[in-house]
């Protein structure tokens, strides 16, 4: 009888000992991203990128022996919905870390929720400079390139290819359009370009030819534009019809010419140059491996959102392994000046403003496809740290 009891006790003890050894609850990462609506396409890439990296990390033993678990919530690209979902993931889902927000409004608002809940978040998509500048938060990180990095990369390339170029600016007439033009103008002038004039056309303009007189009179060598979507299609085809594309280099924001409107613009897009943080064309073994795995898993090419989201999981893994914990303060300290490998090469999270510093790429439309024509070192494109909160 006693023997039996001790045997049971021993069995129980060994069972608890075993569960102690496994003491590995999964590490939970919340993802608040648009899965429906206008930005659903971006949310899809975010999801694919995160899932691929998580699968790889889990297959290789997880983070400190703990598996990684993703929980998705649809934010409908609406900050009011995003904060509600973030609150849910923090309070009910008890996630250790949160990511996925796309539009800058959502990232800023969710950043504040994280601050009040004492958790950390990272964005892999939002471009607005303010997130890691005047509206920076100790609890918010950005692993993708911000708008300023894209425009300085383009400006650096421009200063090499066309020193002291005469530049004309044409932007869409709304807040974002005006601020992108202002940002590029200041970085271009810093590296020696001369501004010959600027004009703003209303969103959804049907006729851009009314601005062509001004454009010709200014005699620019370079035209910078930050129009997007179908506006780009009309602007470029009209420029071509008027023969203005001869002897004119057209450069622009990363969203001006994309895979979506490239086909519709056709030949007029030839020679367009822009600065980006990632391109599937990057010719490194890491990127080739990533693109192949991404295609195999999702039957679609990765874009910058997919690549940056993929890279984030490895950043978090590196930080948690360095901190040996998932506590907010320890992970934040570990993220400071963290260096880690991503498909687009090594990135560094700058401690002063939580912005990732990375090699920037300059791509050009050649034969209807984007090809990489230049690289700009991370330090040359990053710009000063203007965050004063921490």
Partner 1 sequence: MVDALTRSMRASHVLVAILVAASLAVAAFGVATNDTFYLRLATEALIFAGLALSVDILLGYTGLLSLGQALYFGLGAYLSALVLMVIPSFWAAFAATAVVAALAGLIGGFIVNRVRGVYFALITFGMAQVAAKIVYNTRALGASDGLIGVPVININLGIASVSSASPAGFFLFVLALIVILYALSAYLLDTPFGRLLIALRANEARIPFLGYRTMTPRLVAYVLAAMVAALSGALYPMLRGFVSPELFFFATSGNAVITVVTGGAGTLVGALYGSVLLTVLKSVIGSYTEHHLIVIGLLFMGAVIFLPKGLMGSVRPLIERMLAREPKQ
Q: Which residues bind partner 1 (CB under 8 A)?
A: 35-36, 40, 73-74, 78-81, 83-85, 87-88, 90-92, 103-105, 108-109, 111-113, 116, 128, 130, 135, 174-176
How far apart are CB 93 and partner 1 at their closest, in Å? 9
Neighbours of 82 (CB within 10 A): 28
* Strand 356-357 versus strand 360-366 pairing type: unpaired
* Of residues 74 and 231, the one with the C-beta less far from partner 1: 74
* Of residues 155 and 387, the one with the C-beta less far from partner 1: 387
* Of residues 35 and 387, the one with the C-beta less far from partner 1: 35
* Of residues 111 and 277, the one with the C-beta less far from partner 1: 111
Tokens of 10: 């021993």
Which distant-in-sequence residues (6+ apart) come within 8 Å of 214 by Cβ?
197, 199
**Whole-angstrom distance, CA of residue 24 vs CA of residue 37:** 37
Tokens of 75: 């934010």
How far apart are CB 316 and partner 1 at their closest, in Å? 23
* Of residues 73 and 96, the one with the C-beta less far from partner 1: 73
* Of residues 65 and 118, the one with the C-beta less far from partner 1: 118
* Of residues 174 and 242, the one with the C-beta less far from partner 1: 174
**Whole-angstrom distance, CA of residue 197 vs CA of residue 209:** 16
How far apart are CB 13 and partner 1 at their closest, in Å? 33
How far apart are CB 104 and partner 1 at their closest, in Å? 5
How far apart are CB 186 and partner 1 at their closest, in Å? 16
Provide the strand spans (E) within the chain: 27-33, 68-74, 97-99, 120-123, 140-142, 166-172, 194-201, 222-225, 249-252, 273-276, 339-342, 345-349, 356-357, 360-366, 369-376
**Whole-angstrom distance, CA of residue 190 vs CA of residue 194:** 10
Question: Looking at the DSSP assignment, which residues form a beta bridge with residue 254?
Answer: none
How far apart are CB 99 and partner 1 at their closest, in Å? 17
Closest CA to 140 of 164, 116, 112: 112
* Of residues 109 and 315, the one with the C-beta less far from partner 1: 109
Q: Are 53 and 341 in contact (CB under 8 A)?
A: no
* Of residues 182 and 297, the one with the C-beta less far from partner 1: 182
How far apart are CB 36 and partner 1 at their closest, in Å? 5
Neighbours of 307 (CB within 10 A): 26
* Strand 97-99 versus strand 68-74 pairing type: unpaired
Closest CA to 167 of 188, 147, 149: 188
* Of residues 103 and 358, the one with the C-beta less far from partner 1: 103
Question: Looking at the DSSP assignment, which residues form a beta bridge with residue 376?
Answer: 360
How far apart are CB 117 and partner 1 at their closest, in Å? 8
**Whole-angstrom distance, CA of residue 386 vs CA of residue 32:** 27
How deeply is 180 buried, as exposed, middle or buried, from its count of CB atoms within 10 A (0-12, 13-18, 19+)? buried
Distance of CA 198 to the CA centre of its chain: 28
């Amino acid at each position: 009888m006693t023997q039996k009891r001790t045997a049971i006790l021993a069995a129980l003890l060994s069972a608890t000992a075993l569960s102690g050894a496994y003491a590995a609850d999964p590490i939970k990462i919340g993802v608040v991203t648009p899965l429906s609506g206008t930005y659903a396409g971006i949310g899809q890439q975010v999801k694919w990128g995160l899932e691929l990296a998580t699968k790889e990390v889990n297959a290789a033993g997880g983070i400190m022996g703990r598996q990684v678990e993703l929980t998705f919530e649809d934010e409908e690209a609406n900050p009011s919905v995003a904060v509600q979902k973030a609150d849910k993931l923090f309070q009910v889902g008890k996630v250790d870390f949160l990511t996925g927000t796309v539009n800058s409004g959502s990232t800023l608002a969710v950043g504040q929720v994280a601050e009040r809940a004492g958790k950390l978040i990272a964005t892999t998509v939002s471009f607005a400079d303010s997130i890691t500048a005047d509206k920076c938060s100790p609890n918010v990180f950005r692993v993708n390139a911000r708008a300023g990095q894209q425009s300085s990369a383009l400006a650096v390339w421009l200063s090499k290819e066309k020193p002291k170029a005469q530049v004309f600016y044409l932007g869409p007439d709304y807040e974002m359009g005006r601020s992108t033009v202002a940002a590029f103008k200041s970085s271009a002038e810093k590296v020696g370009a001369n501004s010959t004039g600027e004009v703003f056309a209303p969103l959804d303009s049907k006729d851009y030819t009314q601005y062509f007189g001004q454009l010709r009179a200014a005699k620019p060598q370079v035209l910078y534009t930050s129009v997007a979507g179908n506006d780009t299609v009309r602007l470029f085809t009209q420029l071509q019809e008027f023969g203005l594309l001869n002897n004119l280099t057209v450069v622009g924001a990363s969203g001006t010419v994309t895979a979506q409107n490239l086909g519709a613009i056709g030949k007029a897009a030839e020679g367009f140059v822009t600065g980006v943080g990632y391109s599937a064309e990057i010719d490194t073994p890491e990127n080739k491996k990533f693109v192949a795995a991404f295609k195999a898993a999702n039957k679609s090419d990765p874009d910058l959102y997919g690549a940056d989201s993929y890279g984030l999981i490895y950043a978090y893994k590196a930080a948690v392994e360095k901190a040996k914990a998932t506590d907010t303060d320890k992970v934040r300290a570990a993220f400071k000046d963290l260096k880690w490998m991503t498909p687009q090469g090594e990135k560094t999270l700058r401690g002063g403003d939580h912005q990732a510093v990375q090699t920037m790429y300059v791509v050009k439309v050649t034969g209807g496809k984007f090809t990489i024509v230049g690289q700009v070192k991370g330090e040359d494109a990053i710009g000063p740290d203007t965050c004063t909160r921490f």
